[in-house]
Amino acid sequence: DAGVIQSPRHEVTEMGQEVTLRCKPISGHDYLFWYRQTMMRGLELLIYFNNNVPIDDSGMPEDRFSAKMPNASFSTLKIQPSEPRDSAVYFCASSLRLAGNQRATDTQYFGPGTRLTVL
Amino acid sequence: GEDVEQSLFLSVREGDSSVINCTYTDSSSTYLYWYKQEPGAGLQLLTYIFSNMDMKQDQRLTVLLNKKDKHLSLRIADTQTGDSAIYFCAETTYNQGGKLIFGQGTELSVKP
């Protein structure tokens, strides 16, 4: 399998512009996670989906952020309008199951990330 | 809330053993993971341990879990320059709905 695929790898945009980050999870994985990594806050979970349905979006910073998963093989994270403080690396991860049964299938696998710079 | 703490930096010489430590606060943690992040790359799963285990060995990697002290360690034997990276400890429980709680990461520097 190719692993989790994210695009673009790098994005530079100006404040106020709309940004769309894309993710293709590992085929067959039922769970998809979006994380953000910054120096100040480390790795934070933004939202996760189960079978394309958002389950927990409590980590989404504000209404400027939205995420969708129209099908099992594609998800987007959108920021509109973007602000300089949104600059970070955004990771997508997927897993077959959620933690609970102490099986390796619960493990989350991460994509390479999208480095976003908002000027 | 749940918290995971790691020291920020570790420097060792090539060939020595490295020990990266992690403490966590959630006593109900059922899964503990070690991820490796190389510069400009995503997180790569190194190994994991379940809470009903005390130790897990995988080639050069040894994970020790002390549930009483809520302490997790990752030992890398015969550390190589290619091991230079940031190492993240993470934990989750069933009650957290699959959320991984990450430590700040330990930057390992291996000097030749």
Report the alpha-carbon distance of residue A90 to residue A37 in Å, rounded.
6
Interface of A with B (CB under 8 A): 4, 31, 33, 42-43, 45, 48, 55-56, 91, 93, 95, 98-100, 102, 104, 106-113
Q: Residue B98 — very low, low, confident or very high, per pLDDT cuts 50/70/90?
A: low
pLDDT at residue B50 in the model: 84
Report the alpha-carbon distance of residue A76 to residue A19 in Å, rounded.
10
pLDDT tens digits, residue range A40-67?
888 999 999 999 999 989 999 889 999 9
> Which residues of chain B are within 8 Å of residue A45 when distances are taken between CB atoms?
99-100
Is the pLDDT at B28 greater than 80? The verdict is no
A107 and B98 within 8 Å at the Cβ level: the answer is: no
Is the pLDDT at B16 greater than 60? The verdict is yes
The per-residue pLDDT of chain B, averaged, comes to: 89
pLDDT at residue A17 in the model: 97
pLDDT tens digits, residue range B70-92?
999 999 999 999 999 999 999 88
- For residues B105 and B34, is the Cβ–Cβ distance under 8 A? no
**Beta strand segments in B1-112, E:** 4-6, 9-13, 18-24, 31-37, 43-50, 55-58, 61-66, 71-76, 85-92, 101-102, 106-111
Q: Residue B27 — very low, low, confident or very high, per pLDDT cuts 50/70/90?
A: confident
Interface of B with A (CB under 8 A): 30-31, 33, 35, 41-45, 48, 50-52, 88, 92-94, 96-100, 102-105
pLDDT tens digits, residue range B53-72?
889 999 999 999 998 899 99
Is the pLDDT at A104 greater than 80? The verdict is no
Q: Testing the interface with A: which of B93, B99, B107 to mutate, by most A Cβ within 10 A?
A: B99
B96 and A99 within 8 Å at the Cβ level: the answer is: yes
The per-residue pLDDT of chain A, averaged, comes to: 91
pLDDT at residue B41 in the model: 85
pLDDT at residue A99 in the model: 57
pLDDT at residue A42 in the model: 87
A91 and B43 within 8 Å at the Cβ level: the answer is: yes
**Beta-carbon-side half-sphere exposure of residue B79 (alpha carbons within 13 Å):** 23
Report the alpha-carbon distance of residue B73 to residue B64 in Å, rounded.
5
pLDDT tens digits, residue range B33-47?
999 999 888 898 899
